[in-house]
Amino acid sequence: MVDPRVARFTAPVAAFATMVALVMATGAVLFARKIGFDGGQVRAFYLGAEAGFAEPRSLAGLLEVAVPHLLAVPLLIFVTLHLVAFASGMRRRPFALLAGITWGCAGAGILAGFAIRFAWPWLAPLKVAAFVGLQATMLAWLLLLVAAILPPARGASRSGGLTGSEAAPPRAAR
C-alpha cells in the first residue's frame, strides 16, 4: 500500500513525472538533431565548421543557453530528488550516490560547452557523456518516483519505508 501521506498526491506527482519525461524526450531529440552524439559533431557545433559555413559559438551565445539552464536544471533535479526521498524511503547511500552522479552530469553538461569552445576541444566526448548520464539518471529518478506512488500488485505487500511495517503483528487470542 502506498503511504497515506503520499497517496493523496499521486495525481500531481504522476503529472510532474509525465511532464519531466516529455521534457527529457524533447531534449534528447533536440540534442541529437542539433549537436549530435559524436565527438566530432560536438566539436563542430561549438568551434564552427567551414564545410557547413557555421560560425564558432560566441560567449554571448553560450551564456544565452547556460544561464537559463543554470536555474532550470538544478531546480528540476532538486524537486525530483525531494519527491523521491519523501515518497520512496530509499536508503541513504544509494540515494546519495545516484544524486551525486545526477548533479555531476548536470554541472558537466552545462559547463562542457564553455570548455570545448574556450579550453580544450577534445572534451567533446565529456559533453556527450554528461548529457547521456543526466538523461539516464533522471530516468532512474522518474522510475523510482513512479514506483513509489503506484499501488503494489494485487496480493503483493510492500513494507513501509516511511511509516514502518504495514502489517501489525497478530494479536494473541484470549
pLDDT of 173:
59
- Domain residue ranges in the chain: 4-149
3-state secondary structure the chain: CCCHHHHCCHHHHHHHHHHHHHHHHHHHHHHHHHHCCCHHHHHHHHHCECCCCECCCCHHHHHHHHHHHHHHHHHHHHHHHHHHHHHHCCCHHHHHHHHHHHHHHHHHHHHHHHHHHHCCHHHHHHHHHHHHHHHHHHHHHHHHHHHHHCCCCCCCCCCCCCCCCCCCCCCCCC
pLDDT of 26:
97
Residue 66, pLDDT > 90, answer yes
pLDDT of 169:
47
pLDDT of 111:
96
Q: Tell me the whole-structure pTM to 2 decimals.
A: 0.83
Tell me the C-alpha distance between 96 and 14, whole Å: 23
Across 39-46, average pLDDT: 94
Across 3-26, average pLDDT: 91
Place of cell 570545448: 116
Quick: pLDDT tens for 105-148.
999 999 999 999 999 999 999 999 999 999 999 999 999 999 98
